[in-house]
Structure 1
Amino acid sequence: MNLADNVAIRLAVACVAFAIALNTAPVKADSGFPFGMLMTMEAQPQPGSKRIPNIEIGDNGEAVLELWCKAAKGQFSVAGNTVIFVAGAMEDRGCPQPKAQADDDLLSALGEVTAWKRQGDLVSFIGSKTLRFRINTN
């Protein structure tokens, strides 16, 4: 075997090893809008409760929100990093006034959102205030 054949074989082995490494490397987190996912708001529970708001966004932008006390539906429309949220029907569950007000404020803030960004499992909705949600990965 001559030197050129030896180099060619080593190069071929290196290429195969590189290709295998690419196929087994961990997949980088998706950076797209979280359609089809459930997210939990980064917030502390209200006094006397363990509940934290979450949003489940369907494949077409339809949303189901479990708020501090109430439940709501809505629709996300996304174009690039621009987002619009339109609130739909809200289910009033006889909430105490502070929780009901917190729910109303959260829905209002979502309605004022104009942009979004995603960094791994963290999604930020940006408007009059920034709302941060973590994608549930379990």
Structure 2
Amino acid sequence: MTAMTTLLRATLAGAAFLIAVPVHAADEFPFGMEMTLDAQRQPGSKRIPNLEIGDAGEARVELWCKGGKGQFSVAGNTVVFVAGAMENRSCSDAQATMDDQLLADLGAAANWQRRGDVVTFVGPKSLRFRLNTN
């Protein structure tokens, strides 16, 4: 009987741990997380664009060259992104064009979906981001 009691205690302790640890559901918007665009580096840039989204939807945006802030508003699977002022950082014309296009595509996204560690913003052009889980 002691083996059964030990097993039961271990199971209950594991269940209590799972209840106590906050876990974001796989279908929740990733507030409080950072994600990286599923893209290759562009010529002349060592960066890959990423978003760091705060708990209230405030966002730090790092593009191929530019960087700045923005705001996400989410209701169900609907999303609105509004970019704030971006720092130019001595971008080439090509880099500035790519950054501006990415901001426009993100701003045009009307919906979002999440599958595991992949968040997709759906609009005229879908943008896939991978959550930074390390």
TM-score range, shorter chain: 0.7 to 0.9
3-state DSSP of counterpart to 1:48: coil
What are structure 1's unaligned runs of at least 5 residues?
A: 1-8
Is residue 2:44 matched to residue 1:48? yes
Q: Report which of the two structures shows the higher radius of gyration computed on alpha carbons.
A: 1
Output the amino acid matched with 1:69: C
The residue identity in structure 2 corresponding to 1:94 is: S
Q: 2:25 aligns with which of 7, 30, 44?
A: 30
| Alignment deviations for residues 5-63 of structure 1 (CA, whole Å, 9 cap, x no partner) | xxxx8xx86x93764665678x9863211101111100000013321000000110001
1:101 deviates by: 0.3
Across the two proteins, how many residue pairs are aligned to each other? 128
TM-score, normalisation: structure 2? 0.83
Distance 2:125 2:77 in 1: 16
What is the rounded CA distance, in whole Å, between the counterparts of 2:79 and 2:65 in structure 1?
25
Structure-1 separation of matches of 2:45 and 2:91? 12
Q: State the secondary structure of the residue aligned to 1:38.
A: strand
Matched letter for residue 89 of structure 2: R
Deviation at 1:93, TM superposition (A): 1.0
Match of 1:3 in 2: none
Aligned residue number for residue 99 of structure 2: 103
Give the TM-score of the pair, scaled to structure 1: 0.81
The sequence identity of aligned pairs, in percent, is 59
Instruction: Tell me the equivalent position of 1:4.
Output: none
* Residue of structure 2 aligned with 1:80, choices 76, 79, 87: 76
- Whole-Å separation in 1 of the counterparts to 2:34 and 2:93: 27
Between the aligned partners of 1:24 and 1:59, the Cα distance in structure 2 is 24
Amino acid at match of 2:41: P
Tell me how far apart the structure 2 counterparts of residues 48 and 93 of structure 1 sit (CA, whole Å): 13
Distance 1:78 1:98 in 2: 31
CA RMSD of aligned residues (A): 2.4
Q: Distance in 2 between matches of 1:30 and 1:44?
A: 28
Unaligned runs of 5+ in 2: none
